Amino acid sequence: MGGAQTTSTEALPFDVIDLTPTTVVAYRQAPTPDKPTNMTSSLSPAQPLTVAPGDSLKVRIFERYGGNIFPTIQGQSADLGIQRVGADGSIKVPVVGTVQVAGLDLNQIERKIIQQLGTQVQEPEVIVEFDAPRTHTVMVSGDVKNPGRVSMLEDVRSVVDAINKAGGPIASPTGSANQLQVVVRRNGQVILTSQFSDLLAGSDIAVQKGDEIVVRPNSRIFTVLGAVLKSGNVEMSKHNLTLLEALGQVGGLNDVRANKTGVYVFRMGDLETNPTARGRVFRLDLFQPVSIFVAQQFGLQPRDVIYVTNAPLYEYDKILTSIYRTFSIIGIARGNIPLTSTF
């Protein structure tokens, strides 16, 4: 405590910040209402998908008034079979011939077939559907129940849709979506790295064909040391965790040992993106009643270290106890002190 307070912070790799109702404002934990979605999807139901080489199409042609080539829609099947889109982006339809379909949506293909039929058929009706949209899939892998390719035709328009279509995440040991990270790669580039809980809260984004979605564990933990009832690494049970809630998770301060004026939070700077970043040490004096409210507002971050110092009298007591035990052992050895003596 004395070292952090008396040493010049300019000579130290960290800044010391006393948490007060004024200073905590900059580190206040934001509330957790659902955020409005920022998904600008181009895959809305009103905007159909386009065809690409490798897709399979199902083509049916009818004649409205019972013509000579195709049946009416009330008659026998007019299914012309599955048409695979070739590398050149075309399909071969009986009677119609070769139709260039790559880059067109289903409605455009229907109109193009009618155009190519010309006067061979009187008022034709054409229906084109996807049979196997091989190119309109996203790959979902990692900690999901059914990893593999997911078709975007099954009402999959966002990352969360794709994960749910793959069976959803495998439950973490804590059952918390806050302990799962989602990575989205598009054209070989990572475009999103986010906690799954953030996606559920409104940060979901639209998917495009060929996207790769990886769900992986990413434990968000903080460390508690010193005069608390239970020290060690602790998983963050919620996305927005306050200092007061964190202390509650470990049973609170040890009443016998803890110095309530010496509750510290050590936070390393973001060295990965900013090598010159400085660490910060936050000090909280829980002897002040207002500090309870301050602790309720201070937001904890993953990898924070909470350290509760021992009370000075506890340190003195440890020294005196050690001295007493030393003299007790000497006294017992000489037979001067009865074995039943207590401090």
Fill in the amino acid letter for 305.
V
Question: What pairs with residue 229 in β-bridges?
Answer: none
Cα angle: 13, vertex 231, 246; to 5 degrees: 80
Q: Cβ neighbours of residue 95 under 8 Å, at least 6 residues apart?
A: 61, 69, 70, 117, 120, 121
Token couple for 28: 């206040």
SS3 readout for 92-111: EECCCEEEECCCCEHHHHHH
Handedness of CA 198, 201, 203, 209 (dihedral sign): positive
Closest CA to 254 of 317, 308, 291: 308
pLDDT of residue 41: 41
Can you name the residues that pair with 59 across neighbouring β-strands?
A: 128
* Least confident stretch, 133-137, 177-181, 317-321: 317-321
Instruction: Specify the pTM.
Output: 0.58
pLDDT at residue 217 in the model: 82
Q: Could you tell me the pLDDT band of residue 336, with boundaries at 50, 70 and 90?
A: low
158 shares a domain with 144 = yes
Residue 114 inside a domain? The answer is yes
Regarding whether 212 and 165 lie in a shared domain, the answer is yes
pLDDT at 343 over 50: no
Mean pLDDT of the region 63-91? 70
- Residue 189 sits in a domain whose CATH number is 3.10.560.10
pLDDT at 40 over 60: no
Kindly state whether residue 2 falls inside one of the protein's structural domains.
no
Mean pLDDT calculated for residue range 321-325: 59
Q: What's the distance, CA 139 to chain centroid?
A: 17
- Among 43-57, 91-105, 198-212, name the one with the lowest average pLDDT: 43-57
The C-alpha angle with vertex 33 and arms to 41 and 192, in degrees rounded to 5, equals 40
Question: Is the pLDDT at 172 greater than 70, yes or no?
Answer: no
Q: What is the pLDDT of residue 76?
A: 57
User: Using alpha carbons only, what angle is made at residue 265 by residues 260 and 267, rounded to the nearest 5 degrees?
Assistant: 170
Residue 157 belongs to what domain range? Answer: 137-217
Across 262-267, average pLDDT: 90
Answer yes or no: is pLDDT of 161 > 60.
yes
- How confident is the model at residue 305, as a pLDDT? 92
Q: Does the structure show a pLDDT above 70 at 175?
A: no
Average pLDDT of the chain to the nearest whole number: 77
Same domain as 210, residue 144? yes
Is 39 or 99 the better-scoring residue by pLDDT? 99
What pLDDT was estimated at residue 45? 42
| Residue 255 DSSP label | T
Confidence of residue 128 (pLDDT cuts 50, 70, 90): confident
Q: How far is it, in rounded angstroms, from Cα 65 to Cα 231? A: 82
For residues 127 and 55, state if they share a domain.
yes
Residue 80 and residue 144 in one domain:
no
Res 65 pLDDT > 80: no
Where residue 42 falls among pLDDT bands split at 50, 70, 90? very low
Q: Which residue has the higher pLDDT, 320 or 216?
A: 216
Q: Is the pLDDT of residue 43 over 50?
A: no
Mean pLDDT of 238-260: 86
- Position 123: which residue type? E
Q: What are phi and psi of 261, to 5 degrees?
A: -90, -5
Domain final residue pick, 70, 102, 132: 132
Cα–Cα dist 181/195, whole Å: 4
Tens digits of residue pLDDT in 26-39: 888 666 544 544 44
How far, in Å, CA of 223 to CA of 249, rounded? 11
CA distance 247 to 252: 5
Looking at the structure of the chain, the number of domains it has is 3
Q: Tell whether 174 and 101 lie within a shared domain.
A: no
Q: Are residues 141 and 128 in the same domain?
A: no
Residue 334: inside a domain: no
> What pLDDT sits at residue 334?
54
**Mind listing the pLDDT tens digit for each residue in 273-306?**
666 677 888 999 988 889 999 999 998 888 899 9
